[in-house]
Structure 1
């Protein structure tokens, strides 16, 4: 089997980094793209086998340059996004919500357009949404709309871009730097409360979700699917 190449945009932390490491462990040549030079420098020391590129997923020229430097991409994984978006609708900061759309939705569209000319004919695109897109959790209307917009891309693109495959992974609670805005005690208490309610009774690790991302990216029979890796969050009330 010829050597495969993956590009993980937003691959310097969280689920993106876990997916990059997993694919690399399976013999894939993995390129990661992220905005932060310091983080890329750190990964160059700890994960020398990952090929780092400094690029903003929302900047078409920068992402296009990365794709051109790689040459051909078999599997594109999009894990870009920010931490803004949640909040009760009555006082939701709409300027913040616009920033959150800019941080996640538009980079997905921009990256897909920029990398598409370099995707292998039998390649794949894997997006990262979130279970808020379909769960009725109070205080998540804004972020649900963002993730819903991302996940809504999957089916039409799977039909439009065939035989390139397009899928998404929809995680629930995952212990990643996304939660770093919470104080440690508050995060621990919130996770304990959520874990007690979830059917799986635990908060996912980035590595658990990365296994689903790798499946979506590499399985030649999967397309047009949003794979829920939420520990059953959509099945219960988390109020």
Structure 2
């Protein structure tokens, strides 16, 4: 039977790379996100390869939208959440707390709202895979919001794996990855930033979306993995 996977944040970046890999296996892909045009473009790209894909507009920071989706969504085998947020940088004394709370509302509380409202739509034996980030366990000056937000999400994964058992709940923790998140940078500045970062990593390279996508497939496929955080960060945590 064809597997069905809902990818929230699947129109671009890591989420779209996951969609592409799953599509090669003949899975039915449902892309969800906030931007209609990006969703349509991503669906068309998948469909040109012969994949079956559809899309739904969704903002996970809006719980009412998740409640509506829960009423209409056909059962799925897997849910992947790669939707993130723009977390403000800086020390606590200089933070805009309103912006910081908005970042939490999307990435942390939004992910938990997905688990709350959509886990019941996952078929037995299925998975929910969230996305944290290596800063959860790395103290870097100026990253208070990112660090605490991702650390909270990783702690929640452990709890959810018990609360929602036998569904398998995991998180992927990416390091620096070249995605559309850096699209606002000038091309030369972007390349220089990535090159400098790569030099400081044991892997001597930065991540690509397809590197991360393989990790999501691993936790989806391995029936003995739950409550886990899979680090895919080029050795950033040991550098």
- TM bucket (normalised to shorter chain) is over 0.9
Of residues 57-66 and 216-225 in structure 1, the stretch that sits farther from structure 2 once superposed is: 57-66
- TM-score, normalised via structure 2 length: 0.92
How far off is 1:79 after superposition?
0.8
How far off is 1:83 after superposition?
2.3
Q: Determine the structure 2 residue equivalent to 1:102.
A: 105
- Give the Cα separation in 1 of the matches to 2:109 and 2:65: 14
How far off is 1:233 after superposition?
0.5
Of residues 202-211 and 69-78 in structure 1, the stretch that sits farther from structure 2 once superposed is: 69-78
Indicate the SS of the match to 1:199: coil
Whether 2:24 is the aligned partner of 1:25: answer yes
- TM-score, normalised via structure 1 length: 0.92
How far off is 1:90 after superposition?
4.1
- Give the Cα separation in 2 of the matches to 1:233 and 1:189: 18
- Give the Cα separation in 2 of the matches to 1:189 and 1:52: 35
Indicate the SS of the match to 2:16: helix
Of residues 17-26 and 53-62 in structure 1, the stretch that sits farther from structure 2 once superposed is: 53-62
Indicate the SS of the match to 2:90: coil
- Give the Cα separation in 1 of the matches to 2:4 and 2:223: 15
* From 20, 29, 54, the counterpart of 1:51: 54
Q: Determine the structure 2 residue equivalent to 1:198.
A: 201
- Give the Cα separation in 2 of the matches to 1:43 and 1:202: 27
Q: Determine the structure 1 residue equivalent to 2:10.
A: 11
- Give the Cα separation in 1 of the matches to 2:162 and 2:131: 19
Whether 2:124 is the aligned partner of 1:125: answer no
Q: Determine the structure 2 residue equivalent to 1:35.
A: 34
Q: Determine the structure 2 residue equivalent to 1:148.
A: 151
Indicate the SS of the match to 1:152: helix
Equivalent residues of 1:67, 1:114 under 8 A apart? yes
CA RMSD of aligned residues (A): 1.6
Equivalent residues of 1:58, 1:111 under 8 A apart? no
* From 178, 189, 192, the counterpart of 1:175: 178
How far off is 1:67 after superposition?
4.3
* Structure 1: segments with no counterpart, 5+ residues: none
Whether 2:192 is the aligned partner of 1:189: answer yes
Equivalent residues of 2:12, 2:42 under 8 A apart? no
* From 159, 164, 170, the counterpart of 1:161: 164
Whether 2:77 is the aligned partner of 1:78: answer no
Change (3 A) 1:69 1:25: farther
